[in-house]
């Protein structure tokens, strides 16, 4: 891949040491693409089982889709509105778009080369085959034709292009075909072109009956089946060419919150438009003639720079169903049972357990069940008076929501802050909000202009004539599926000061009033960034006075300029700084005199790294977990919580977890001063996720 982030050491050496120098910052969009490149690299890593490698390839595809839907769309909109202000890196949006096109063209070529030259042959050796049209036996071809006649043609709607049938509005990321025709139809029309949208209800992979194939699992692509029998859609005409294509559109919802009386109603009105936003990218079969791609580009308002020719299916994400269609557990990660701390199993009274001590869980290595169990027991407990919770992402039909509904029906005061604008989960959140309201829960939508991203549960219980509070605070969402795939911390506590702080945050979200002083919680957009900067400054002062100082920050992204400035100043003072940043990182480490005391790592593995953890060696408390990343949106425009891990044993455990990531090993990448990531393999340290699986879960490698 062309190195668009490289900065020569000579150029660095010639710059003065002002911390506003654009050369000290990496562009966030280009850094995002680097993260996706690391995801793609997992598809080639034979340490992962074969079907998991395919999943990484498809995750890369899904990530790239969202990158165009949101990030590229946003850049194009800024240019259109003439808002071309530069960021700390000094790059104009037009310049960034040019770099994105160069990088993405190369990444997409790598993606399809990996699919065609590595993964498909490897799957074939495991008797999992994708049969192309030229490979079909006469019996298979006959079966596919019957499938098209019975399952495809009845639901497909070809669209001939003429003045009465202009180019259709095609749904975002849908599979379509452009067909060149010869001859006249029954009405004497001879336009020569038609569009065939593939029905979204049809599977993209078609299993060929076992009796017609070699042993194993054999599939045909829906695109191949339609292509082979496109002539059946245009009776009496000759199909000269049939080529698949897909349009990616702007999918960022734009709800003008000023003057909106009902946010839910306004959002429902915007959801439909997401499917038909402005086009930002076109993917097309690599054998499509230029005159046809030129026609498509003109119709959707794109240029050649926004065209991606691909050697394979244009909608790779739909292949994510393949592992469920084959019974091959040997080609997947070995199963494991998340660990369960004593005192938190279903048979235990969770309130008695939390009255005795705090519990800190690291998912998915440790079970998410205690979090759901807190709500389940609260819903049934006659002594529980009230439950308050924030919901950002939950998935469809979540147990968490079922427990809240049961609690409301049991007469408890249930208040739920539902964030309707959780990107791509808006529709599900609208539905669960309706379900909660129907059950009698009070549902609010947070604060207009600020996404509610904090992860909090508050349970109020009467005990011995007095009210006692219990809380859950987390770094991730209340989504049981994600809890098996994402790494996140959960703190369960009855600490009076902590629970009172959570109570105050809920009052801010549901009511009105000035910001109340918190004893323990740091919260955005009010105190979190300010306190983080103070904590960094505290380590800086210790180092300036000759003491040992250290900072470890683990997050999904680091883009906030003031935080980066503070870290640079700390590095200049001699603070040893380790940053574990999964995705975007705008800080450039290793610059002499600026960031030579900073190391940046990224871990990509079986689980999506999602914990936000902050460690400051000389602070008391030294260790924090948070819902917030170190990004402008989180620290300035969202409601976030950051909570201390005060109990020494738990704080020590968090530091041990961080050290496991810093030890290197497989799956750990390091960022250098030139802006390049390098895999840190080749040592004796096990991958951090493997180490945590062994330490915390009921898992035995090789079983």
Residue among 400, 379, 388 at smallest CA distance from 444: 388
CA–CA gap between residue 199 and residue 503 (Å, rounded): 49
The pair of structure tokens assigned to 463 is: 């005990």
Strands 623-626 and 638-644: antiparallel
Phi/psi at 106 (nearest 5 deg)? -70, -45
DSSP-assigned beta bridge partners for residue 643: 625
Q: What is the rounded CA–CA span in Å between residue 472 and residue 97?
A: 42
What does DSSP say about strands 217-221 and 205-207: parallel, antiparallel, or unpaired? antiparallel
Rg of the Cα atoms in the chain: 27
Q: Tokens 């904090």 map to which residue?
A: 454
Distance of CA 560 to the CA centre of its chain: 19
Contact in structure between 49 and 119 (CB atoms under 8 Å): no
Query: Of 32, 229, 453, 479, which residue is the catalytic one?
Result: 453
As a whole number of angstroms, the distance between CA 296 and CA 308 comes to 12
Per 3-state DSSP, what percentage of the chain is helix, strand, and coil (rounded to 5)?
A: 40, 20, 40
Of 155, 148, 160, whose CA–CA distance to 236 is shortest?
Answer: 160
Distance CA 65, CA 52 (A): 20
Q: How far is 252 from 423, CA to CA, in rounded Å?
A: 8
Phi, psi of 271 (to 5 degrees): -60, -40
Secondary structure of 88-110 as H, E, C letters: CCCCCHHHHHHHHHHHHHHHHHH
Please answer whether residues 476 and 488 qualify as being in contact, where contact means their C-beta atoms are separated by less than 8 angstroms: yes
Structure tokens at 100: 């994105």
Cα–Cα distance, 618 to 209 (Å, whole number): 66
Q: Which helix (H) or strand (E) holds 646?
A: none
- Cβ–Cβ under 8 Å, residues 421 and 633: no
Active site residue 453: yes
DSSP 275: T
Tokens of 678: 């390098």
Eight-state DSSP code of residue 445: -
CA distance linking residue 168 with residue 153, whole number of Å: 19
Total residues found in the chain within this entry: 703
Q: Which residues are catalytic?
A: 453
């Amino acid at each position: 891949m062309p190195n668009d982030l490289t900065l020569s050491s000579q150029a660095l050496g010639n710059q003065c040491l002002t911390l506003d120098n654009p050369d000290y910052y990496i562009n966030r969009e280009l850094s995002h693409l680097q993260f996706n490149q690391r995801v793609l690299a997992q598809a080639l890593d034979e340490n992962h089982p074969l079907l998991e490698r395919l999943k990484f390839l498809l995750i890369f595809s899904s990530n790239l889709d969202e990158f165009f839907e949101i990030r590229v769309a946003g850049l194009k909109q800024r240019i259109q509105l003439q808002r071309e202000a530069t960021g700390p890196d000094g790059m104009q949006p037009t310049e960034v778009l040019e770099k994105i096109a160069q990088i993405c063209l190369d990444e997409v070529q790598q993606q399809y080369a990996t699919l065609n030259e590595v993964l498909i042959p490897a799957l074939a050796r495991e008797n999992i085959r994708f049969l192309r049209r030229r490979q079909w036996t006469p019996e298979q071809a006959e079966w596919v034709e019957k499938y098209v006649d019975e399952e495809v043609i009845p639901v497909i709607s070809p669209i001939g292009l003429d003045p009465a049938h202009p180019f259709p509005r095609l749904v975002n990321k849908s599979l379509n075909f452009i067909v060149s025709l010869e001859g006249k139809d029954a009405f004497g029309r001879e336009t020569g072109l038609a569009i065939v949208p593939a029905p979204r209800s049809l599977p993209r992979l078609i299993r060929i009956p076992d009796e017609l194939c070699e042993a194993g699992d054999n599939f045909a692509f829906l695109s191949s089946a339609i292509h082979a029998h496109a002539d059946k859609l245009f009776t009496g005409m000759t199909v000269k060419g049939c080529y698949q294509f897909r349009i990616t559109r702007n999918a960022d919802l734009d709800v003008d919150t000023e003057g909106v009386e009902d946010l839910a109603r306004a959002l429902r009105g915007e959801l439909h438009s997401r499917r038909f936003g402005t086009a930002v990218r076109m993917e097309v079969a690599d054998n499509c003639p230029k005159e046809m791609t030129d026609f498509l580009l003109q119709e959707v308002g794109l240029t050649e720079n926004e065209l991606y020719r691909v050697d394979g299916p244009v909608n790779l994400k739909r292949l994510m169903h393949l592992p469920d269609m084959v019974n091959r557990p040997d080609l997947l990660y070995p199963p494991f049972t998340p660990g369960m701390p004593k005192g938190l199993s279903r048979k235990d009274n969770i309130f008695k357990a939390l009255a005795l001590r705090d519990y800190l869980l690291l998912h998915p290595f440790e079970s998410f069940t205690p979090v759901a169990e807190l709500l389940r027991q609260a819903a049934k407990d006659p002594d529980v008076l009230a439950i308050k919770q924030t919901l950002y992402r939950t998935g469809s039909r979540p147990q968490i929501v079922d427990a809240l509904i049961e609690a409301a029906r049991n007469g408890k005061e249930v208040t739920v802050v539902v964030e309707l604008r959780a990107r791509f989960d808006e529709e599900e959140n609208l539905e669960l909000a309706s379900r909660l309201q129907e059950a009698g829960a009070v549902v609010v939508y947070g604060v207009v202009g600020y996404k509610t991203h904090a992860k909090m549960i508050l349970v109020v219980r009467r005990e011995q004539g007095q009210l006692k509070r219990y809380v859950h605070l987390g770094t991730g969402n209340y989504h049981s599926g994600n809890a098996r795939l994402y790494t996140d911390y959960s703190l369960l506590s009855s600490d009076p000061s902590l629970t009172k702080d959570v109570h105050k945050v809920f009052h801010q979200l549901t009511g009105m009033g000035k910001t109340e002083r918190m004893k323990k919680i740091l919260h955005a957009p009010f105190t979190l960034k300010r306190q983080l900067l103070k904590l960094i400054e505290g380590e800086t002062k210790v180092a300036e006075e000759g003491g040992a100082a250290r900072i470890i920050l683990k997050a999904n992204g680091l883009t906030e300029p003031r935080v980066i400035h503070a870290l640079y100043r700390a590095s200049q003072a001699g603070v040893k700084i380790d940053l574990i940043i999964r995705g975007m990182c705008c800080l450039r480490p290793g610059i002499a005199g600026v960031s030579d005391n900073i190391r940046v790592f990224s871990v990509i593995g079986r689980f999506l790294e999602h914990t936000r953890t902050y460690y400051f060696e000389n602070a008391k408390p030294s260790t924090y977990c948070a819902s917030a990343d170190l990004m402008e949106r989180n620290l300035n425009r969202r409601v976030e919580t950051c909570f201390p891990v005060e109990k020494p044993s738990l704080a020590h455990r968090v530091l041990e977890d961080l050290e496991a990531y810093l030890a290197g090993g497989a799956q750990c990448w390091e960022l250098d001063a030139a802006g390049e990531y390098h895999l840190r393999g080749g040592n004796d340290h096990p991958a951090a996720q493997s180490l945590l699986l062994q330490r915390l879960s009921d898992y035995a490698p090789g079983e």
